[in-house]
Amino acid sequence: MIHSGKNMCGLYDKYNSLIFTTDPMAQQAGLNEIRNYFKNILSVNIIEAGVAQITFDDNFKDVLQNISVSPPIFIRHIFPVLAHSGADTVDNMHGKIMSLLLSNMEYMDTGKTFSIQNYVLPSMNHEALVINKTQIASQIASHGFELDVTSPEQVVTVMACAISMNISISLAKDNMSDWPGGQHRFSKKENFISRAEFKLLEAIAVFKPPMPDGGIALDLGAAPGGWTRVLRKYGMTVHAVDPGDLHDDLLDDEKVVHYKKTAQKFFSEAVQYDIIVNDMKIDIKESIAIMDMAESYLKEDGFCVLTLKLKKEKWQSTVKNAIGLLQKRYNVVGARQLFNNRSEVTVVLQKRRGD
């Protein structure tokens, strides 16, 4: 489905270039994926590791349709390029941005919220290239548009680097991520246990599996307890399975039951779960075998979240084969190398009805 605003279709007809991002280690995988969505790519420019720009002779709306039918795994964020400008001072950049936006504002929809995103390349000096988003947003809002920085429906993207600036207007749903460059960041909260928490939080934000308050969850390979903590924040009772120790903050929580054993030995004691999660650092084949066993203990329409740990080579074929094996027992809701993943891919599964 193409998420087109009242006037955005007209703007989308103009686009013949886009920028996409991946993890630097997954750049080739991302290039392989992006080629599948086009019939006629004219050029490919690697801006830096994990950031590339392509020009094309396809209709951008057709490209979005292709992406919606077969979502990528390694591409994190895309945005079409409305205009490209050479390097300039920040003050002059503001003037260029506003001039461009005013001349294309007819394509934006006053009935949809907006935000300004400033994507600064990871290699660049962030402070030197930050635009005044508040000033630009205020000028746009003065034309009847409503600002929403948390869940915008349409996005003005400015990507600045040392030698150039790229500007885009698009619908947030068509960018694959609400975050600039797909860099979905979280802040460390009170009682933070490990950065692994960010992986599960991002998976929940992206794939939106049901997280029933009062439900029961199984955390395989739980120690030290980052994912257990996230599940508890959603009001779930957690059976945490790991021979290792849990963080001290979880020990007095009566809603956390710690089974100090391996996942393989645990299943004889398992019950029925609303959600099963698995972030174990083990070989993919072993992880899939464990998920095959876990399926019997998942409630009807229950969900699983797991990470596939990747080695240095053949990421695409490895993930494709793994998903093929998982599909024998589950419906695959989605798979993505999220921003908070390292050399891994997050997969979300749902139990099939009647299984």
Phi first, then psi: give them for residue 333, nearest 5 degrees.
-70, -40
**Do 48 and 173 belong to one domain?**
yes
- Averaged over 324-340, what is the pLDDT? 97
**In this structure, are 177 and 226 located in the same domain?**
no
| Residues 46, 151 within the same domain | yes
Dihedral, 172, 177, 178, 184 alpha carbons, nearest 10: -170
pLDDT of residue 8: 84
CATH number for the domain spanning 135: value is 3.30.2130.30
pLDDT tens track for 192-210: 889 999 999 999 999 999 9
Q: What is the pLDDT of residue 130?
A: 60
Q: Of the residues 182, 216, 237, which one is the last residue of a structural domain?
A: 182
- The pLDDT-based confidence of 104 (bands split at 50, 70, 90) is confident
Last residue of a domain, one of 182, 208, 227: 182
Task: Identify which of 63, 26, 23, 24 has the alpha carbon closest to the alpha carbon of residue 41.
Answer: 63
Q: Are residues 36 and 160 in the same domain?
A: yes
Q: What percent of the chain has pLDDT over 70?
A: 92
Are residues 75 and 211 located together in one domain of the fold? no
Q: What is the pTM of this model?
A: 0.91
Inside any domain, residue 249: yes
Q: Give residue 54's domain range.
A: 8-182
| Residues 110-147: tens digit of each pLDDT | 899 999 998 877 666 554 456 778 888 998 999 999 99
Query: Could you read off the pLDDT of 245-287 as tens digits, one per residue?
Result: 999 999 999 999 999 999 889 988 879 999 999 999 999 999 9
Instruction: Give me the active site residues, please.
Output: 309
Over range 292-314, report the average pLDDT. Answer: 94
